[in-house]
Structure 1
Amino acid sequence: MASAFIPPELGQSLRETIIPDVKTTLNLFGMHLRKVAGEWNYPIHAHPQYEFNYVLEGVQTMVVNNNSFTQQAGDLVLLRPGDSHSSRSGDGRPFTYFCIHFDIDDKILISLLSRLDHVLFKSDSAITRRLAPVLHKLVEISANVNGNITMSQRMRLQSAVFDLFGQLWEAFSIDDHLLSSNTYEKVELAHQIRGRLQGLIYQQFKHDGAGENHYGVDDIAAELGISTSHCYRVFREVFGLSPRTFLSDQTLHEAKVLLEDPRLSVSQISGILGYRDIAHFSRQFKRWYGLSPRQYRDSRNWMPADPLHAPDSGDTPH
C-alpha cells in the first residue's frame, strides 16, 4: 500500500498481491577501509551507532566492554550503540580492516541485533559466511572512492548495505544459537502481524463503510493460530505499541498524506479511509492529532486547486 494510494474500483482487479509498506531510513557514518601499522592503538571510546568491523588482513585485538576478542582475517565484530571499545594490532604487525557505523529505523532488525548473544563472529560462522560476499562488495566500492563520493557510488553502497541486512536476517533464521531462545520466531511472528495489519488498512480503503467491517486483530490472531492476547503481547514486545495503536498511527499517517492533496475534498478523504461520514472522520482525526481535518489542511498552507474540490463545509468543530 503506497501512501495516498487510491485502489481501483471493486471488480476491476482480476488478481493482485498487496506488498506491505516499506518505510526504512538508513544512515551510514564513518565508513572506512584502513590499513594500519603494527603500533596502531585506538583508545577506548563509544558511539550511538551500530558498528560492523571486518578484518581483511592481519590480526586485530578488540576490547569490548572490558572483554578482549582476537580478530583474524575474515572475522567480523558487531558492536551495539554504547559499547565501549578499543582496538590495536593483535601481533604487533600491520593489519587491514573495514568499518561501517550505521543507524536504521527498522524495529524488527534492531530488535534482533539487540538480542544477539555474540560480539565476535569467526570467519567460519553462519553469519560471516553469509555476509562475507557482501562485505567484500562494500570493500570494493569503498576502495574506488577517492575524496568525493559520486551519486552512483552512494546508491551502490546503500544497496549493498541493505543486501547485507537481508543476508543477516537469513543467517538468523538458519542458526538459532545466535539468539536467545524463541527470539527469531517471536520477531518473525510480529512481522507477520504487522503485514496483516497493513493489509487490513488497505482493505478498509477498498470498501465503503469500514465501520460495518468487523474483521480485525482477533481474526488476524486466529489466522496465525495464536490467541488474541499472545498477538498483542508479541507485537508490543517487538514494536513497543499495541496492534490497535499501530492501526491508528497508520490511518492517521494516510489521512495526513491525503489531506495534503488539494485535489481531494474532506468528504472524499473520509470515504477513502472508510469512515461512514465526515463527522466521524473529523472527530477521530481531532482525537489523534488535536486539529480538525480542515485546521490541519490550513496549517499546511494547502490551497484547493479546483473550487469544486474545496474542503467540505461539513468539516465542522466537534
Structure 2
Amino acid sequence: MFQHPKPRRLEWPHLCPSVHWAQIQRPFPGPGKYRTLYDFELIYVFQGELLIHFNDEIAPIPVGAGDLLLLSSAMRHRIELLADPHTHLLGIHFDFFNEQTVLAEQDLTVREDKIDPERFCSIPVMGEGHPVFGAHYESVPYEMVEWMERIVEEHAKGRGNPGYELACRGLMLLIFTQLLSLDTKSSRPNLHSGYQGKIKELAVEMEIRPGAPWANAEMAGRFNVSEDHFIRLFKDIVGMSPRKYLQFIRHREAKKMLRETDMKIELIGRQLGYEDLHNFSKVFKKWQGISPRAYRKLSILH
C-alpha cells in the first residue's frame, strides 16, 4: 500500500496551488515508461484510452474519454496509451501549497539515480490521514475542462505576463472546489449504463467532425429514442446538452485555428459549421467575451 512521504493536513486558507506546466498533447500509442513525479499532474482525456500501471496494483486502471486522472507526487507509475491514433490529452503539472519553483520540464520527474526526497510536493490529507482528492474521476463536467483549457492558455502567455500566477491559481481553486463535489471513479450515478459507451463514442465523433450539422433528431434516431430522451441521456452522461457540447468543441477548435493559422475568420466559421460570419462571431463572443478578430489580435500579441 502506497504511503506518501509528505502528507500535510489540509487547512483551506493554506491551499495555494502553483502551476508548473500545462499543455494539450496528442501522443503516439505505446506502453510508456515508469516514472515518478516530484509534483502532481492532472490529465484530462478528450479522446483515446489510457491504462495506468502502479507498482502496488495488480491490474492497471483504465481511463477513458471524458475522465480525469490525478497523479500523485512520489508514486511510481507508467501510462500506457492504447492503439488510438487520435489520442488527445490535456495535462497540468502543479503543487497544492506553492512549494516548488520549476525552471525546466525535466525538473518535474525524478531521476532514478538521483532522488531528492525533499523536493516531493506535499499531498493534502484529511484529519484521519486520507487524501482529500481521489485519483480517478469519470465523466467530469465540461465546465471543469474549460477551466483547464484556460490554464493552458494562461501558461502559454508566459510567466512574464502580469497576473499569470494569480489567474492559474484561481482556476486551480475552482477545479479543486468542483472535484470535492464529485465521487472518485464515477462523478455521477450510473443511471444509463446501457447507453454510456455509445454516447461517449458519439461525443468523440463530434470532436473529430465538429463542422458536421449533428441534428438532435438524427442522433436520437441512432439510439432509437425520442429527441427529448436523447438530450437527457447525453446531458447526464457527458455533462452538458448536445447543442452546448457542440458549441464547446467548435469554440475550442476555433480558438486553436485563430491562434495557429492565418485562415480567414469567415472560412474558419464555415469549416466549423456556422452559416455565416455574423453567426460565428455571435457564438464565439458569447463563449469568449470578445470577437474572433479581437481574440486573434490578442493571441498575436502574446
TM-score band (shorter)?
0.3 to 0.5
Report the TM-score, using the length of structure 2 for normalisation.
Answer: 0.40
Structure of greater Rg: 1
Report the TM-score, using the length of structure 1 for normalisation.
Answer: 0.39
